[in-house]
């Protein structure tokens, strides 16, 4: 089988390592020619996960047409803000029936579309689309450290195909028909992770972080439910599992961004320092707008947005959260509500 991996960052490198280790031929599209050259000549990505050795079955090209040629499945692993442009580049070279799975986690600014909706909007074929999400730090997946994930698709046979494609001894794959919940969970948990990082940067403790994570999960579930997601999805790998990993891990860009900002840094400064995209910075805008558009309370997301883009002091944002009026813990989560 031949699979095209569209994107050559850390996650694209880890996925290429995983799939090629199963005997699958992988063709990587790398925006940067030096990455493609490095993969082809040294079997390593010269910029991301540089210690990972890729199998001979992995080839790379800066030409997306070449990367897609002969692909029987496509894995999109670009940052969320680049998914539309990437899909537009893919469209002329993508077979009408080739299944596509998205690994980017975000909600598109302006349109407020989930990533599979963005891809469908460009290339069509909703029935062939899927999303993968879970507690999957690329640094660990690429070392064969036991991990698990969820594949959500609009059609069961597509979900099963991608489940089989990704399943490996160190990478367990579950399926879930709730595409909305899996995608929104992946996007919204990044914002909560930024809040958790701010808590670290302010020197707060375990109680604070546990509170942020738990109440963050509540607002994630509340938003998802009102947009058609199954609330139980948020108890699984794409919800709670991903939230735990992203809020606590040393690998988490979003947690690190929050800490960086709480210690006096800026969003732009973090990008310049790390040359990485922290998806939570973008999702703080789009998820906040999405919740506002349907009248759903997301107080943690609101405060993260206010700190990142409105100049609010992180400690003051924390005080505002603590000073909110008393509520029932399950407020807004009554499944009997319309």
- Known catalytic residues are 189
Q: Which residues contact 307 (CB under 8 A, 6 or more apart)?
A: 198, 261, 313, 314, 317
A 10 A CB-CB count for 16 gives 31
Q: Which of 258, 254, 278, 267 is nearest to 200 (CA)?
A: 258
Alpha carbon distance 90, 194 (integer Å) = 32
- In which residue are the tokens 């040294």 written? 42
Give the pairing type, strands 129-133 and 171-175.
unpaired
- In which residue are the tokens 């997306």 written? 64
**Strand intervals (E) in the chain:** 2-6, 25-29, 58-61, 73-76, 100-102, 129-133, 147-153, 171-175
What are the backbone angles phi and psi of residue 132, rounded to the nearest 5°? Answer: -120, 130
Here the tokens at position 85 are 């442009």
Residue 80 is given by DSSP the state G
Quick one: how far is CA 197 from the chain centroid? 17
């Amino acid at each position: 089988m031949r699979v095209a991996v569209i994107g050559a960052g850390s996650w694209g490198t880890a996925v290429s390592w995983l799939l090629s280790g199963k005997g699958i031929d992988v063709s990587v599209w790398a925006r940067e020619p030096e990455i493609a050259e490095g993969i082809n000549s040294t079997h390593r990505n010269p910029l991301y996960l540089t210690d990972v050795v890729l199998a001979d079955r992995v080839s790379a090209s800066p030409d997306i047409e070449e990367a897609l040629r002969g692909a029987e499945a496509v894995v999109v692993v670009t940052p969320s803000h680049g998914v539309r442009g990437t899909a537009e580049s893919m469209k002329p070279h993508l077979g009408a029936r080739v299944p596509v799975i998205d690994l980017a986690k975000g909600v598109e600014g302006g349109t407020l579309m989930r990533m599979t909706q963005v891809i469908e909007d460009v290339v069509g074929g909703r029935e062939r689309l899927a999303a993968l999400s879970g507690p999957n730090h690329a640094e660990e997946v690429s070392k064969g450290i036991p991990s698990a994930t969820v594949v959500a698709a609009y059609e069961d046979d597509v979900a099963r195909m991608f489940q089989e494609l990704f399943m490996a001894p160190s990478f367990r794959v579950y399926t879930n028909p709730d595409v909305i919940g899996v995608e929104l969970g992946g996007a919204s948990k990044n914002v909560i992770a930024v809040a958790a990082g701010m808590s670290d940067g302010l020197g707060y403790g375990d109680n604070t972080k546990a509170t942020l994570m738990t109440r963050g999960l509540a607002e994630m579930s509340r938003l998802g439910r009102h947009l058609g997601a199954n609330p139980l999805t948020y108890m699984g790998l794409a919800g709670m599992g991903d939230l735990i990993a992203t809020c606590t891990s040393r690998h988490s860009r979003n947690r690190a961004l929050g800490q960086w900002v709480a210690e006096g840094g800026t969003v732009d400064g973090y990008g310049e320092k790390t040359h990485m995209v922290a998806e939570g910075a973008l999702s703080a805008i789009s998820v906040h707008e999405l919740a506002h558009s349907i009248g759903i309370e997301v107080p943690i997301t609101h405060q993260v947005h206010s700190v990142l883009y409105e100049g609010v002091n992180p400690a003051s944002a924390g005080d505002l959260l603590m000073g909110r009026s008393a509520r029932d813990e399950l407020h807004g989560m009554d499944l009997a509500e319309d």
